[in-house]
Amino acid sequence: MEASVSLKKIGKVLNGRSVLAGLSFGIERGSIMAIVGPNDSGKSALLRVISGFSKPEYGSIFIDGKDVHLRRLETAKHIGYMPQKINFDNDLTIFENFQFYGKIYNMEPKMINRRIALLSDQLGFRHFLNDFPFELSSGFQKKALLARTLLTDPEVLLLEEPTSSLDLRSQYLVWDFLQEMSGDKTIIYTTHSIREAERVHDRIVVMHHGHVALDGALDKLLENSGELFHFQIHFQSLEKEIYEKLSKITTVVSPSQVGQVFDFYARERKVFFDVMRLAIEEELIGYNADKVGLETLIMTSTEE
Amino acid sequence: MNLFSAFFYRRLVTITHNWVGELSISLLLPIGIYSTLGFGLSNSTPSLEYFPKLSWLIPGIILIISFAGALITIFNDIMKNKRITSLYGTLYASPSSLATSVFGITSSVLPEGIARAILGLIILEFIIGYAFSALGQILFLFIIIFSTLIGASIGLTLGILSKNSLSNQLVILLLLLGLGFCSGWFIPLEVFPESIQTILRILPTTVLGECSRAVLFGQIFPFSLMSIPAGTIGIFFLLNIFLFPIISTE
């Protein structure tokens, strides 16, 4: 498929620290990309740079082949950016905020009113249109913010944690609504919810220290992890010498000690029994064995 | 024009929500300034033939109201929104050029500046019991446009460059007082030493004051001097285009 958004060696430095380190990739038109990663990994910086809110120190971003920063006036109307922080003007009601936003984008008054009615109905906040933003709960503010982003019917949606502070029902409502549109629109969103990223994506990007640590569809990522298993063995008391003895088993991957828990990965299930055989003389409290999921993939790929 | 329309709409609804406060200020400010200056400066006010003595103060009062109103409104708005709501980031990310953004913000206070001036003029004419000629008042409103735009432009520049709202409010207060006196809006320039008068006479605000008196009192004035305030607006416009990315992008 044709790339809707392309990044070429994008680099961003904030306060002398590199928050995006030469990122290059393309995002297909009409696809949904989930960006996950620990705090300060560069997720928000990436969206802000694509949206034009923030200028990169080097590199280029293209929307439909047009450079976002060189042809800003042409590309800006195709982009809808929803920041993580609610940024309504508290002196205006929600309706007036929408009107102001629509006017900035040179929309016809009739079209603004039609879009406000449609979006507020679909996202269920029509009764709050004449309230001031600070009078609404954070969940309704978030829904209104999403609706404001959609007001101009942009082709590319950049959403920073679109469902944070929403209740479960609203999260489903929002994602059902967004997924209905995903064929026409390219959606790039950041989230801290692994479950959300697993459920809603065509592609997942795991970011770490401004780099892309993992990139692909969940099935592909898990397949590439080569049937990795995650084990945790809880000891009554995990002494240093036992930990070192167990860590030295050659088939044990990324061992670590978390309190009294010996945490490790392995390519095969039988490694667990090798470890247990050596630990059998110690007093054990319990154990946990999992096939690696996205959460573990993120943890391992973003390890310091 | 879409950004003028957007920012004017925003100002209009903000005023509508706070109409009691806005109307009170618009009504009381001219009376308050007139009373203070009239009592305090009546001896230094020049006498005008055919006009009530204190009518000399009226152009200066209206000019300071439009100038300060625009400056304070824009400054406060920038200080409030530049970091907290990232409003200006939204503007930068919209399909609007820097020039139209700066024009939209500064010109959005023009209608309210003119409205305040008309209201102030009516109130002060009522107080002194004298109405200026219709033509003089219409021409005076054109000068108010210059005064409002200069105030708004300075408010935008200060707002962009300011880090601390509180300390800059003091700077603004001193700036307004200084300009009011040094531009001959409240006291005649003749009270200053001659060497300083030469400099003060070419201040854009002084030109606005002199021109206002000329149109209201039917005096002779070289209107080519209006190129000074017009040039000032142009310079601030370019400066603000250059500075605007400071508050709108990272």
Alpha carbon A132 to its chain's center:
29
Choose from A18, A85, A90, A91 for mutation: most chain B CBs within 10 A: A91
Q: What is the dihedral of CA A256, A259, A262, A266, to 10 degrees?
A: -50
The per-residue pLDDT of chain B, averaged, comes to: 89
Cβ-proximal residues to B220 (8 Å cutoff; 6+ apart), any chain: B214
Is the predicted pLDDT of residue B124 greater than 90, yes or no?
Answer: yes
- Report CA A289 to chain centroid distance, whole Å: 27
| Residues on A contacting B at a C-beta cutoff of 8 Å | 14, 48, 51-55, 72-74, 76-77, 79, 81, 83, 85, 87-93, 96, 99-101, 103-106
Q: Is the pLDDT of residue A63 over 70?
A: yes
pLDDT tens-place string over residues A80-106: 999 888 888 889 999 999 999 999 999
Nearest chain A residue (CA) to B104 = A104
**Higher pLDDT, residue A301 or A206:** A206
Q: What is the pLDDT of residue A304?
A: 65
Per-residue CA distances from A12 to A9, A217, B110 (Å)? 10, 26, 39
Alpha-carbon gap, residue B2 to A107, rounded angstroms? 9
Domain ranges of chain A: 3-223, 226-301
Confidence (pLDDT) at B52: 84
A73/B96 Cβ within 8 A: yes
Disruptive mutation site among A95, A103, A130, A152 for chain B (greatest number of B CBs within 10 Å): A103
Contact criterion met (CB < 8 Å) for A103 and B5: yes
- Dump the DSSP string for A202-259: SEEEEEETTEEEEEE-HHHHHHHTTS-EEEEEEESS--HHHHHHHHT-TT-EEEEEET
Q: Among residues A63, A59, A62, A58, which one has the least CA distance to residue A78?
A: A63
CB B249 within 8 A of CB B89: yes
Q: Which of A112, A144, A142 is nearest to A125 (CA)?
A: A144
Among B11, B22, B85, B87, the strongest candidate for a mutation testing the A interface, having the largest count of A CBs within 10 A, is B85
| Nearest-CB residue to B9 (from A76, A87, A99) | A99
Evaluate if residue B83 carries a pLDDT over 70: no
Would you say residue B80 has pLDDT above 80?
yes
**Neighbouring-strand partners of residue B27:** none
User: What's the CA gap between A188 and A247, in Å, rounded?
Assistant: 40
**In chain B, which residue's Cα lies nearest the Cα of A69?**
B93
Enter the tokens of residue B150.
């200069």
φ/ψ of A130, rounded to 5, equals: -95, 10
A–B: how many Cβ contacts below 8 A?
74
pLDDT tens digit sequence for B162-195: 887 777 888 888 889 888 889 999 888 888 898 8
CA dist B105 and B115 (Å) reads 18
Residue B156 has pLDDT above 80, yes or no: yes
pLDDT at A178: 87
CB B53 within 8 A of CB B45: yes
Q: Which residues of A touch B10 (CB under 8 A)?
A: 89, 92, 96, 100
Report the residue of chain A nearest B90, measured CA to CA: A53
Lowest mean pLDDT of A161-165, A169-173, B59-63, B87-91, name the range: B87-91
pLDDT computed for residue A290 by the predictor: 80
Contact B10 A89 (CB under 8 A): yes
Residue A128: predicted pLDDT:
93
* A33 DSSP 8-state letter: E
Give the domain A226-301 fold: Alpha-Beta Plaits (3.30.70)
Contact A4, A194 (CB under 8 A): no
Least confident of A100-109, A227-236, B132-141: A227-236
Confidence of residue B111 (pLDDT cuts 50, 70, 90): very high
Q: Do A3-223 and A226-301 have matching folds?
A: no
Residue A62 β-bridge partners: A6, A67
> Which residue has better confidence, B139 or B38?
B139
User: How many other CB atoms are there within 10 angstroms of residue A270's CB atom?
Assistant: 11
The C-alpha torsion from A206 through A208 and A211 to A213, rounded to 10°, is -40
Q: Class for domain A3-223, per CATH?
A: alpha beta
- The pLDDT value given to residue B121: 94
For residue A282, give both structure tokens: 């110690």
Flag if A87 and B85 touch (Cβ within 8 Å): yes
Q: Is the pLDDT of residue A1 over 70?
A: no
CB atoms within 10 A of CB A219: 8
Question: Taking 70 as the threshold, does the pLDDT of residue A267 lie above it?
Answer: yes
Please report the DSSP string for A76-125 in residue order.
Answer: HTTEEEE-SS----TTS-HHHHHHHHHHHTT--HHHHHHHHHHHHHHHT-
Cβ distance A106 to B89 less than 8 Å, yes or no, reads no
Choice between A165 and B151, residue whose per-residue pLDDT is larger: B151
Which residue is listed with tokens 């300009």? B179
What part of B 48-107 touches A (C-beta under 8 Å)?
Answer: 81, 85-87, 89-97
Cα separation, A105 vs A103, in Å, equals: 5
Q: pLDDT tens, A130-147?
A: 999 999 999 999 999 999
> What 3-state DSSP class applies to A220?
helix
Q: What is the pLDDT of residue A225?
A: 66
CA nearest neighbour of B124 among B26, B55, B222, B182: B55
CB contact under 8 A, B85 and A89: yes
Counting DSSP H helices and E strands in chain B, the numbers are 12, 0
Overall average pLDDT of the A104-133 stretch: 93
Report the range out of B38-42, B44-48, B155-159 with the highest average pLDDT.
B155-159
Q: Which residues in chain A are contacts of B21 at CB distance < 8 A?
A: none
Task: List CB contacts of A220: < 8 A, sequence separation 6 or more.
Answer: none
Q: Are B38 and B57 in contact (CB under 8 A)?
A: yes
Q: State residue A284's pLDDT score.
A: 85
Nearest CA in chain A to B83: A87
Averaged over A165-180, what is the pLDDT?
A: 88
Give this prediction's pTM. 0.83
Q: Which of A22, A284, A10, A30 is nearest to A156 (CA)?
A: A30
Q: Which residues of A184-207 are buried (b: 16+ CB within 10 A; e: fewer)?
A: ebbbbbbbeebebbeebbbbbbbb
The predicted pLDDT at position A2 comes to 58
Chain B residues touching residue A76 (CB < 8 angstroms):
93-96
Position A10 pLDDT exceeds 80 = yes
Backbone phi and psi for residue A29, each to the nearest 5 degrees, phi listed first: -60, 135
Which chain A residues contact residue B250 at CB under 8 A?
14, 48, 53-55
**Chain A interface, best mutation among B5, B7, B8, B13, by max A CB count within 10 A:** B13
pLDDT at A291 over 80: no
- Tell me which amino acid residue B9 is: Y
Chain A residues touching residue B85 (CB < 8 angstroms): 87-90
